A and B are shown apart, each in its own frame.
Chain A
């Protein structure tokens, strides 16, 4: 609001100019101040009003440094957009150095607010200022309830001063063309009041709109006319969701979120980059776009076998979302954490149906897949052959055969190798700590000696011993049926603590602890904020 300043002291003029400038910047009210004598500050509440609004505008004059006690006589003059001035007077006796005096437009002026535009206010004081102006100001009367709107907002139109039941034409245009459904014909009510609303949409063209209203019979001077502006609407991004809170390297993570306009309706178009931050700070970006089937925004991020393990963060940054219609958001970043763990490689079991004998080749073919079910093609894969704990061969390096999609190797059975059941254990690993293992058994019959352990197991002596042990076991069971107690339950504290330490040191538990720690911190922060 523009203001005018009156000063009786030339020495304070510069300061008053500065004050008036500040007043202009932060208030639409007008200031009239006097460094030595009384100071007057005029304001209007509200500063903008619609035509024909009940209640009108409250004019407030704040008087400071007043002569006390003394009578003050104020003349308020309001000049409407047609140039017509109306006055209202009021007197007050000051009861202190600082006080307020009020007036109301149009009630105290026998006027109306039927014209759109700027209304200028001038206040003079006749007792102490000899009728000089002590404060000026202005207020605005418009046809809409606001001067600017975000898309999706409802524009309320109101005009007064028409003849009862008069046909009124309302036109809304952006540039020359009228907005769809305009011009609109409306009949004024019995008080000459016309109201209409216009719903802006998420795709309503942005910019300035010109609103004009005219009666079929009556003529207003100036005619009802006003500009207002439509801005993009904010989009809220909520509920960033992850398909899993923890994944193994190579797996793909799915992000989802919903976007909502200011009026609560969901965004059904557009996209947003999701910034994915590794524990070491490296950023990756995937773009989430709208999935009309799931009715949500989705993006996928595929980790690789070399991805950093630990806690990662997915973030939708401020104003990164765009719906393709110039609406955007969010106003604050939205993020979610997830944990990436080493991949557990799946090693297919080798199937051996034949019995191998001396000189035969034992083929070793294994298919190794990542948690994402893709082939593991680079790394170290070895096979170790044992028989009852005794190593026969290995580790034998296997090589990747792209034509088969498998890792392959072989072992030629020697005449000196023991007969019996062999175990082929395949171990896969890479330089990033991803591992996998599996084993398979096969029968071998060579001229070599049977494995001592196996030989023993296959002997009659062994089975007789087993039978004897079973008999003894039953005997003990019969004679000691009462002995099921804690004495038989061994509490191996060392083993338990060792096992627990392994669990505790696992990324898996640490990720849980990290999540719980963040939760605790958040609760503490919320409590502190609440307190």
Chain B
């Protein structure tokens, strides 16, 4: 059975796409069949991680949501390109063409269209996991995507505004009766793990959320300019170990 996981954040720039790409690769390296949908329709960016030019694709997720292309036609198989041994990654990019982005944002999409696309990808490719990278904030289309997925993974920095918004997101997300998981990202280097965990416990005491992991601020991740997937490029890097740990936690999602 496929588990669909929406990766979301209240604010932009929290590292949502980085986590999506790295966790997907970590899962694929464990032999899992993983789908990735770039539902950040307003500002897609996952294609950069995978070194794909969406302009070269015949169809994108925007076409799928507009009902003009079947989901599998807007899907790129990355396993060979990324030399994944055993696992598979099927990636559904969003359009980077401004006109198409505007069209999608203007018209929105139907719940059924998205739901059917998710189901179709799950069935067509026999996915173990479908990771959906969403657009940050509280928006109609994003919340629809959150509601359809089996799990919601919220990404936040330890930042006053971000934590406030993430708290609101957790509260709103729980109304969908789906498990909500939290990843604290870009933890400043001088903050000790004990402090992070203590903070996580405080959050856990007030909100219905499960801690899926935390990631320190990483020069290497920032320095890569989102042009590669660290988990694949530097398998022995400390951040890779953390992404793998999050992947392990994902495998434990009930």
A489 touches B160 (CB 8 A): yes
Are A508 and B159 in contact (CB-based, < 8 A)? Answer: no
**A336, B144: Cα distance in complex, Å:** 16
Interface of chain B, main secondary structure: helix
Cross-chain contact A490 with B160 (CB below 8 angstroms): yes
Instruction: Give chain A residues whose Cβ lies under 8 Å from the Cβ of B112.
Output: 519
A491 touches B190 (CB 8 A): no
How would residues 160 to 178 of chain B score, 1 for a CB under 8 Å from any chain A CB and 0 otherwise? 1001100110011001100
**Chain A 391-402: CB-based contact to B (< 8 A → 1; otherwise 0):** 000000000000
User: Complex formed: what's the CA distance from A503 to B190 in Å?
Assistant: 35
B11-44 vs A, Cβ < 8 Å mask (1 yes, 0 no): 0000000000000000000000000000000000
Q: Decide: B191 and A485 in contact? CB cutoff 8 A.
A: yes
Q: Contact: B108 with A245, CB < 8 Å? A: yes
In chain A, residues 62-120, which have Cβ atoms closer than 8 Å to a Cβ of chain B?
Answer: none
Within the complex, which residue of A485, A491, A512 is in contact with B140, where a contact is CB–CB below 8 Å? A512
With contacts A239-B67, A245-B108, A496-B168 taken as known, whether A486 is within 8 angstroms of B148 at the C-beta atoms is no
Q: Across the interface, do B108 and A500 meet the contact criterion of CB distance under 8 Å?
A: no
Query: Size class of B's contact patch?
Result: 35 or more
CA distance A246 to B139 in the complex (A): 12
Q: Does B147 make an interface contact (CB < 8 A)? A: yes
Closest to B206 in A: A493
B199 touches A500 (CB 8 A): no
CB distance B167 to A515 under 8 Å? no
- Which of A242, A493, A504, A516 is within 8 Å of B147, CB to CB? A516
A-B contact count (CB 8 A): 95
- Cβ distance B158 to chain A, nearest Cβ, rounded Å: 6
- A513 — which chain B residues lie within 8 A by C-beta? 147, 175-176
- A516 to B171, Cβ gap below 8 A? no
Contacts A245-B111, A245-B140, A499-B168; is A486 near B147 (CB within 8 Å)? no
- A245 in contact with B147 given A486-B158, A490-B160, A491-B203 (CB within 8 Å): no
Contact yes or no, B191 A497, CB < 8 A: no
> Is B211 an interface position by the 8 A CB rule?
no
List chain B residues, Cβ under 8 A from A493: 167, 206
Q: Which residue of A lies closest to B108 (CB)?
A: A244
> Considering the chains assembled together, what is the distance between the CA atoms of A496 and B156 in angstroms?
15
In the complex, A333→B45 CA distance in Å?
A: 41
> Given the complex of chains A and B, what is the CA–CA distance between A53 and B95 in angstroms?
58
In chain B, what residue has the closest Cβ to A512?
A: B143
Chain A residues with CB below 8 A from B172, complex form = 500, 503-504, 509
Tell me if B86 is interfacial: C-beta within 8 Å of chain A.
Answer: no
Please tell me if the beta carbons of A489 and B163 are within 8 angstroms of each other in the complex: yes
Asked whether A241 is an interface residue with its Cβ less than 8 Å from the other chain, the reply is yes
The one of A244, A484, A492, A509 in contact with B164, judged by C-beta atoms closer than 8 angstroms, is A492
CA distance A166 to B28 in the complex (A): 71
Asked if residues B110 and A241 are in contact (CB atoms below 8 Å), the reply is: yes
Q: Are A244 and B107 in contact (CB under 8 A)?
A: yes
What CA separation (Å) do A484 and B192 show in the bound complex? 10
A516–B108 touching, CB < 8 Å? no
Given the known inter-chain contacts A482-B190, A490-B160, A491-B163, please indicate yes or no for A512 contacting B147, CB distance below 8 A: yes
Do the beta carbons of B140 and A508 come within 8 Å of each other? yes
Q: Which of A242, A246, A484, A501 contacts B188 (CB 8 A)?
A: A484
Closest residue to B175 on the A side, CB-wise? Answer: A504
Interface membership of A243, Cβ < 8 A: yes
Which residues of chain B are within 8 angstroms of A22 by Cβ–Cβ distance?
Answer: none
Residue interface mask A239-259, B partner, CB < 8 A = 1:
101111110000000000000
Interface 1/0 per residue, A447-478 and B, CB below 8 Å: 00000000000000000000000000000000
Residue A495 CB within 8 A of the other chain:
yes
Contacts of A497 on B, CB cut-off 8 Å?
A: 167, 171
Name A491's contact: one of B115, B138, B191, B206 (CB within 8 Å).
B206
Interface contacts beyond A489-B163, A503-B171: sample of 17 additional A-B pairs, CB < 8 Å, sorted by A: A244-B108, A245-B140, A246-B140, A481-B190, A486-B196, A486-B198, A489-B158, A489-B159, A491-B202, A497-B171, A504-B171, A504-B175, A509-B143, A509-B172, A512-B144, A513-B147, A519-B112
In the complex, the 6 A-B pairs of residues with the closest C-beta atoms, listed nearest first: A500-B171, A486-B199, A496-B167, A516-B147, A484-B188, A493-B206
